[in-house]
Amino acid sequence: MKKNQLLILFLLLLAGNTYCQRIDETLSSTFQRLSTEIPPAYVRMWAYDTTTQQQMSATFSGVVVTKEGHILTVAHTTIPGKTYMVTFADGRSAIAQALGKINFPETPELPDVAMMKLLTPGDWPVAPMGWSYDLKVNEPCFSIAYPETLNQPLPMMTMGHITRVKNEKGFIESTCMMEPGDSGGPLFDYLGRVIGLRSAIEPDERKNYDVPVDLYRKYWTALTQPIHYTKYPEIIDSIKTDPAEKLISSNDQLEDLNRTMKINQLDKTACVRVKSAEGNQQRAINGMLITVKGKSFVVSKNSEVGQEPVVIYNGKSIKALTIARDKENDLVLLGLASRVKGGIEMPLKQQKGLRRGAILLSPLPDTLGIAGVFGKDTFSLPKMSSLGFLGAAIAPDKKPLVLTYVMPGSPADGKGATPGDEILSINGVAVNEPMDYGRELFTYWPGDTVIIKRRQHAVDASADGTGGTSRYVSEVNDTIVLAKRPQQPVTHATDMFAGGKSERRDGFQSVIAHDGILRSGQCGGPVFDIYGTLAGINIARFSRTVTLAIPATVVQAFVLKSIR
């Protein structure tokens, strides 16, 4: 890593207004450089049974810090002596053993220190360890880890700044967001050194807690033994001193990067508000104003735009006409009754590729824009929460395909389906195997209409009235409109952020991800890099750390195809 170059960049950044380059430009160039120059030692892990070759736990993160294969992670993810699967961003995998961990019975979340070691031989990447004793408030930091909800083999990058060097529980506190799956992942300083390990959160996205790396330095020898320490070990190692201590500084502008960042006039006018009706319900979402061949249009989030849309532009309401909908990408194109000034001209000029670590800005129509870091390049997300919901289950390993449960109030229940009925086909496609049933339903969205052929059953009562034999009495074809999947109650701090998750947040073939803190109702508008280049349209608040955007190239293809 070119540490001298990185150091020079950040000394300029931390000099604040005395340097002519904007803070967002320096921050962006530094994070992009760090993202590519840090050895990819950040790993994704899970408990693993080497005999049955089965995953035995949820996924979590860690970081390799020695050539001998020592991995730093957190105690709430490991059991000393157990084996774990370790996967690297380059696709390689290895087996590791959990070594020592420190957490106390009276406070299980503290101090949350743990070590593992790779058992599989290999030339593994190694991240340098930094120090935590000399951190400063408003010092920039970032993380590269693996959010569990994304369930992706490649990691997500988030950024922030230190808000407390050491809180009352001994944690580093920062605005660098995390969520389940990130636990144990590295928190880096501006030189690309590990300064903390991801541990805990509060509902407020700005409250994120990391285990200081100095604890690992202090108890290194003890942690190399596969022991669960319920008090601090007696064996103590020297933490030593940070050779870069005198160079560590901070910048108060990082306290409100949204206010610090500049945005040009075109970007400001590109984000509008779209209001519409869905039955008796009023909907509101952001949209992106565009211009094609002198005409004004708005692109927005399809699932949040209903009937009779109205675009709010500069405080005025403009009637809009729905021209096209793209359910797969959740995009809608609206034509405006009159042309307005501003907006993004399409076709776009030649797009330059974004690099992980680039600072992005999402303008809003009525307040400051939202800054974030480009955390994950183009990837796909299968339908999970966005599946059309039938409400009827079958046994996963039995034939014929007989219903085992029908949810009260579900679309299937509304058609009179009952446990014991046999499913024969869906939209004319025969379902003979259990996997056929799930695969066929997987292709449909909420609101789609399906025809399900089923064989009704009846139960003949026995002579004593205690039950009887089941028999099939008729075949019926049910025309059913699939519903939205019932939402699970929110019980974990990771899901308690303001605004919550977007209702439609998966089932995309091509999305990018950033960590801008947009509320679900603020999606639908554009997201730019710091030079005003369109990155895409914010399409969903996916989770605590992740906002998804449809890439600009996909948006443009939809627009130009729709107005040919």
The DSSP code for 389 is B
Does the residue 14 lie in any domain?
no
| pLDDT at position 464 over 70 | no
Asked whether residue 316 falls in the same domain as residue 251, the answer is: no
Q: Looking at residue 149, which CATH number applies to its domain? A: 2.40.10.120
Question: What does the mean pLDDT of the chain come to?
Answer: 93
Asked whether residue 92 falls in the same domain as residue 215, the answer is: yes
Does the residue 288 lie in any domain?
yes
Asked whether residue 558 falls in the same domain as residue 532, the answer is: yes
Asked whether residue 446 falls in the same domain as residue 324, the answer is: no
- Would you place residue 468 in the very low, low, confident or very high pLDDT band (cuts 50, 70, 90)? low
Asked whether residue 378 falls in the same domain as residue 293, the answer is: yes
Does the residue 427 lie in any domain?
yes
134-143, 259-268, 277-286: the lowest-pLDDT one: 259-268
Amino acid at 513: A
pLDDT in tens, 111-169: 999 999 999 999 999 999 999 999 999 999 999 999 999 999 999 999 999 999 999 99
Q: What is the mean pLDDT of residues 430-439?
A: 95
Contact 512, 535 (CB under 8 A): yes
**Structure-token pair, residue 276:** 């519409």
Asked whether residue 402 falls in the same domain as residue 510, the answer is: no
Asked whether residue 362 falls in the same domain as residue 409, the answer is: no
Does the residue 52 lie in any domain?
yes
Does the residue 308 lie in any domain?
yes
pLDDT in tens, 61-73: 999 999 999 999 9
- Who's near 546: CB < 8 A, 6+ residues apart? 147, 149, 150, 156, 375, 376, 513, 514, 515
Contact 188, 210 (CB under 8 A): no
Asked whether residue 278 falls in the same domain as residue 426, the answer is: no
- Who's near 220: CB < 8 A, 6+ residues apart? 115, 237
Any bridge partners for residue 529, and if so which?
360
Q: Look at the chain and count its residues.
A: 564
Of 255, 284, 299, which one is at a domain's C-terminal end?
255
Does the residue 7 lie in any domain?
no
Does the residue 387 lie in any domain?
no
Domain count, the chain: 3
- Count of CB atoms within 10 A of residue 268's CB? 13
Asked whether residue 216 falls in the same domain as residue 300, the answer is: no
Residue 489 has a pLDDT of 87
Of 204, 231, 255, which one is at a domain's C-terminal end?
255
Q: Distances from the Cα of 431 to the Cαs of 221, 390, 416, 484, in angstroms?
A: 59, 15, 20, 23
| pLDDT at position 16 over 50 | no
Asked whether residue 418 falls in the same domain as residue 544, the answer is: no
Q: What domain range includes position 438?
A: 392-461+469-482
pTM, rounded to two decimals: 0.93
| pLDDT at position 339 over 90 | no
Asked whether residue 187 falls in the same domain as residue 59, the answer is: yes
Does the residue 109 lie in any domain?
yes
Q: What is the mean pLDDT of residues 380-409?
A: 95
Of 255, 285, 308, which one is at a domain's C-terminal end?
255
Asked whether residue 81 falls in the same domain as residue 108, the answer is: yes
